[in-house]
Amino acid sequence: MTRPITAGVDGSPEARAAADWAAVEAERRGLPLRLVHAWITEPIFVPPMPDEEAARALLDETSDALAATHPGLTITTEMVPEVATTGLINKAADSEMLVLGSRGHSAIVGFLLGSVGLPVIAHTRRPVVMVRSGTRERADEGDEVVVAIKDAGPAAQPLLDFAFTAAVARGATVRAVRAWGTPSLFGAEVPGSVEENAAAAVDLEAVESGVLTDVLMPWRERYPDVPVVEQARFGNAAEVLLSAAAFRAGLVVVGRRLHRPVLGMRVGPVVHAALHHARSPVAVVPYDNEQEGPGEE
């Protein structure tokens, strides 16, 4: 069964940017696009009264605009009579990915996830791509898909699958980034430990680079036409990733571990940093440590 790319629509410029991005991505991958609208206000006591006429008009207007610029794309629309978090999580379940808009005012202020984006990311089992208004042009220009590799075992497989599939669709390079270690700047042993940490970093660089090479090897074999850049660096993982993605990234791919507490909304420090500060769209891909690699059963 072909799964659509689903985009949430709420009438904001950010949601329109997300729908634009989703349409381009669906066209690249030969997938249908589904536009959904759920009522954004999260009720405290009673559900908000749905305005079906306004919702339908919003979906039709967005669909018509996208159809005019993507005439060969199959576009469907769906009204979701639920609060946004619940409705979007449910619709993500049968989607290739869910694409949402995220408010941001500059590269420094970055993403303001609000009350919808973060819980959706934290609880869906499908990839979620966050797109800010004004970043589509940069996404078109970027010629790299930058993927953060923390766990080099089975957990890396869904991230690399997403990254290589995205790279093939846009003719891009995959830049795989792995970071390790960072000395404390506030501990009592800082003066004496800096030299030791630097020496350890030299020894670890070869080890960590080898780990990254090994995890990428089956993907290089599976996608021989996709250029791959390996980047292993000593330092803070979030800072290393953002530095790698600063100039040429059209898409940043990060992972979120499944099986977190049901009511929790933590997504991890690297994901959090990417969502707030990356200049390109960010794909958050759920994973667990029992994922299988390419070709495995």
Could you tell me the residue ranges of all domains in the chain? Answer: 1-141, 143-297
**What global pTM score does this model have?**
0.85
Q: How far apart are CA 151 and CA 290, in angstroms?
A: 12
The pLDDT of residue 18 is 94
Neighbour count for residue 297 (Cβ, 10 Å): 3
Instruction: Name the E strands within 84-188.
Output: 97-104, 111-112, 128-132, 144-148, 173-180
Tokens of 92: 């993500």
- In this chain, the answer to whether the domains covering 1-141 and 143-297 adopt an identical fold is yes
- Give CA separation, 201 vs 172, 178, 180, 181, 231, in Å: 31, 13, 9, 8, 14
The confidence band for 180, taking pLDDT boundaries of 50, 70 and 90, is confident
**Helix/strand/coil for 228:** strand
143-297: in CATH 3.40.50.620 = yes
The confidence band for 73, taking pLDDT boundaries of 50, 70 and 90, is very high
1-141: in CATH 3.40.630.30 = no
The pLDDT of residue 181 is 75
State the pairing for strand pair 97-104/111-112: antiparallel
Q: How far apart are CA 190 and CA 267, in angstroms?
A: 30
Q: How far apart are CA 12 and CA 131, in angstroms?
A: 12
Instruction: Name the E strands within 71-207.
Output: 75-83, 97-104, 111-112, 128-132, 144-148, 173-180
Above 60 in pLDDT, residue 212?
yes
Dump pLDDT digits (tens) for 106-126. Answer: 343 334 455 677 888 988 999
The better pLDDT of the pair 133, 23 is held by 23
Above 50 in pLDDT, residue 137?
no
Arithmetic mean of pLDDT, 264-283? 85
